[in-house]
Structure 1
Amino acid sequence: MDLAFLHPLYEHSGPWASVYVDLSEHAEDTAQVRDMTAAAVARDLAGQGADEATCTAVRDAVRDLRHATDPHGRALFARAGRIVLNPPLARRPPTGTTALWAPLPHVAPLLELAGEDPLCVVAYIDRKGADFELRSGVGGQDAGGVTGRQWPVHRTSTGDWSERHFQLRVENTWEHNAAEIADALAVCQEETRADLLILVGDGRECRAVHERLPQRLHDRVVEAEHGTGSRLLDEEVERTRTAHVRMRARQDLERFQAARAPDDEGRTVAVEGVPALVEAAREHRIDELLIRLDGPDTHREVWIGEGPDQLAVRRQELRTLGEPDAWSARADDALLRAAVETGAPAISVAPALPDEGEDTPAGGMGALLRWK
């Protein structure tokens, strides 16, 4: 997950209100229920010590969502009476609406609720052209299309010379249109930076487009089994997106596992456990952060200063480093702040864990390192 969008959260000091709002339920009384949720969240934050202005800002922001059609939910991050960031969620918060008041914004859940949300271009293909739809975890939108040659596109059943000549022209039209669709789809992928291309339509037409796509896109293409307008197609798109997330997480976890061993120069390029991660963060050496959100070390206490690289396992250690002020924070959120500062991505390894005995970073957190 690219964490660059979190930069605004670290331009000001805390404390912060972090609220994950569940918007997945839609019923006749939804507006009333969300009004009640807004009041409950404000009371919860006040009970944790949040200032009145921030409680009011959060309450009003949640109230403003009472008619929202978000399929899953929204995250809200606020301080000093102002909502600073409110990204949509690609998945429903598993424990419903939650609120936390802490020195740092609690962004770790975003790795699973908003991270690794692959973009798909779904291409609805027929002999005359194609329509493109861009899909993500928060819905779909029109992404254009292409219209090829409109005539001739249908075969005949007779066998005389003129009809065979006509059928050849039909074949030429199909081939021309397949090439046009492939070119337009390649442009659409480049503009949207879509992770996946899903081809929907007759098998022969989809294969013709698939074959004409640039080689660089072939491993992104899936030919759907179900047709336009089918509920099964929606399920297939979601399965494809889920499989892609699992594959990416698996690849990153395997890279981490391989990097535990020293390289040819005797350097270990992977670390795990809070003390080693804190040291790597202070030295700006985290290249990618891997987190299992239910790991025992994610909520372990560390100490932070004003700067993202001012963190330590013990409070006295931070003072020794020259930081006069220190606050207690969760390890996962402190390390994610350091990753944002250095432009390092982060992933949840949960999608790569079908088995309980999976070899994951010790304590639930690890990192691949960069070397200066």
Structure 2
Amino acid sequence: MKLSTLHPLVERPGPWASVYVPVVTADESTLRRRDLRARHVQGELRRMGADEGTRRVVDDALSALADERRNSPYVLFAADGDLVCAEPLAEGPPGDAPSVWWSRLPRLTPLLEYAHDEPDCLVAYVDRAGADIELRTPAGRRPVGEVEGKQWPLHRTASADWSERHFQLKVENTWEENAKAIAHALASCQEQTGAELLVLAGDVRERSAVHAHLPAQGFTRVGDSEHGGRARGADGRLLDEDVNRIAADHARHRTDGLLDRFGDGGDGMEHLEALVEAAREHRVATLLVRHDGPDAAREVWTGTDPDQLALRRTDAAALGAEQPFAARADDALLRSAVATGADAVLVPADSAHPVGGLGALPRWTYS
């Protein structure tokens, strides 16, 4: 998943309140259930030793977001009386009660499961005359471009007369020129947004024509949908389903590729000592996490700086940590990944690798 939005969580010390809130289904008992949830969170934070200021700001945030993000799960991170981060989730924890932690590091690992690995995606609504281009990200969607191609001639006739066939050739030339213009605009949008995916929506002929003119380099994957369109009132529900399916297939394919690189004979690292050293030296390109692995909950030692990371307290102190503290290995490595611009991927529970549940692919390999 993209970790860039989590930088505020590594730029200040804890301890941290991390609260993952499941979906609230609206019914006649909604208000009572919200109140029970808030009491549950306050009781857990008080039991764990959270300070009054942080408990208060979490309670205020739960009240404020209950209506704003109704029926949508989200996560809160708070420290020292400040709400530092509130992010929407693709899905929430099971059950009705929020999952609550009070710890020296923010509890980051559940994000890999609940936020999902959704790549940025351009959706192009194409027809013979042009296209409307939309960017979809985990934060929402917005228009990023419009193409108005040649408007005449656009429509063929049914006549077989020679002059009419000549006119029809002009029509097809117009379609082809417009498809080239759309492909050029999409390539420019990709450069500006960095979107990995492109979904072309419209009739098959227009989609195929645009696809044929896309540059070889750019999008990681290009998908098609026959649903949606530029016409006013077009139903986008089935298009949304297609976009979600294409994005999920892409994420699955990407994870499979990473695991192939990581596997037997690959260049992956998975012993905790090697991972800690690689993180400390900023050599981790992609962190792989299987949250049920035994290494995920192992104890490591760290300090206020993410680079102050070691297996032993004395080693963390030697790295400059004035008051080293113990933390979960998965959260400490994820904090390092955020700080160093690395990526992080949740691997399926039935994966053979990484054996201990934590692994990494390096930024570079040694020959």
Q: Could you say which TM-score interval applies, normalised by the shorter chain?
A: 0.7 to 0.9
Decide whether the 8 Å contact of 1:115 with 1:347 is kept in 2.
Answer: no
Q: Partner residue of 2:352?
A: 359
1:6: how far off?
Answer: 2.4
Tell me, in whole angstroms, the C-alpha distance in 2 between the residues paired with 1:282 and 1:240. 36
Question: Which letter does structure 1 place at the counterpart of 2:118?
Answer: D
Identity fraction in percent: 51
Distance 1:176 1:71 in 2: 45
Deviations along 1:111-166, whole A, 9 cap, x unmatched?
23335211221211111211222223454333332122222211111122332232
Alignment of 1:240 with 2:242, yes or no, is no
Aligned pair partner of 2:296 in 291, 298, 307: 298
* 1:266 equivalent in structure 2: none
Distance 2:319 2:156 in 1: 79
Partner of 1:176: 177
- Shift of the alpha carbon at 1:244? 0.6
**Letter paired with 1:20:** Y
Q: Which amino acid aligns with 1:343?
A: G
Q: 2:57 is matched with which residue?
A: 57
Change (3 A) 1:169 1:360: same
Q: What corresponds to 1:309 in structure 2?
A: 307
1:324 Cα deviation from its structure 2 partner: 5.2
Q: Where does 1:196-215 land on structure 2 (aligned, <5 Å)? A: 196-215=197-216
Structure 2 unaligned regions, length at least 5? 230-234
Q: For 2:330, which of 324, 329, 332 is the aligned residue? A: 332
Change (3 A) 1:249 1:171: same
Report matched runs for 1:143-154 at 5 Å.
143-154=144-155
Give the TM-score, by structure 2 length: 0.87
Q: 1:219 to 1:316 in 2, by over 3 A?
A: closer
Following superposition, the deviation at residue 322 of structure 1 comes to 6.6
- What secondary structure does 1:294 align onto? coil
Cα distance in 2 for residues equivalent to 1:70 and 1:182: 39
Number of equivalences: 359
Helix, strand or coil at the partner of 1:362 = coil
Cα gap change, 1:11/1:217 in structure 2, threshold over 3 Å: closer, same or farther?
A: closer
Partner of 1:265: none
Q: Distance in 1 between matches of 2:353 and 2:282?
A: 23
8 Å contact kept, 1:32–1:66: no
Q: CA contact under 8 A between 1:30 and 1:66: conserved in structure 2?
A: no
Does residue 249 of the first structure (1) align with residue 255 of the second (2)? yes
CA distance in 2, matches of 1:294, 1:70: 30
Q: In 2, distance between residues paired with 1:295 and 1:359?
A: 11
Point out the more displaced range, 155-164 or 62-71. Answer: 62-71
- What is the distance in 1 between the residues matched to 2:37 and 2:340? 37
* 2:361 counterpart residue number: 368
How far has the Cα of 1:50 moved from its partner?
A: 0.5
> Structure 1 residues 167, 366: CA separation in 2 closer, same or farther (over 3 Å shift)?
same
Q: Given residue 340 of structure 1, which amino acid in structure 2 is its aligned partner?
A: V
Give the corresponding residue for 2:232: none
Does the 8 Å contact 2:123/2:199 carry over to 1?
A: yes
Equivalent in the alignment of 1:4: 4
Structure 1: distance between partners of 2:137 and 2:91 = 11
Aligned AA (2:354)? P
Moved more, 30-39 or 336-345: 30-39
Does the Cα contact within 8 Å between 2:24 and 2:30 map onto a contact in 1?
A: no
User: Equivalences for 1:32-51 in 2 at 5 Å?
Assistant: 33-51=33-51
> What is the identity, as a one-letter code, of the residue corresponding to 2:37?
T
Correspondences of 1:60-99 after superposition (within 5 Å): 60-69=60-69, 72-94=72-94, 97-99=98-100
Deviates more, 1:49-58 or 1:326-335: 326-335
Task: Give the gaps of 5 or more residues in structure 1.
Answer: 261-268
Cα root mean square deviation, aligned: 2.7
CA distance in 2: counterparts of 1:217 and 1:235, whole angstroms: 24
Distance 1:192 1:94, change over 3 A: farther
Distance 1:155 1:295, change over 3 A: same
Q: SS of 2:68's equivalent?
A: coil
Whole-Å separation in 2 of the counterparts to 1:200 and 1:283: 45
Q: Distance in 2 between matches of 1:311 and 1:95?
A: 35
Contact conserved, 2:149 with 2:178, CA < 8 A, in 1? yes
Displacement of 1:25 after TM fit?
A: 3.5
CA offsets 1:267-312 (integer angstroms, 9 cap, x no match): xx53213233233334444333211122222122223233323333
Inter-partner Cα distance in structure 2 for 1:150 and 1:322 = 67
CA distance in 2, matches of 1:186, 1:52: 52
**Contact in 1 for aligned 2:261/2:268 (Cα 8 Å):** no
SS at match of 1:238: helix
SS state of the match for residue 177, structure 1?
A: helix
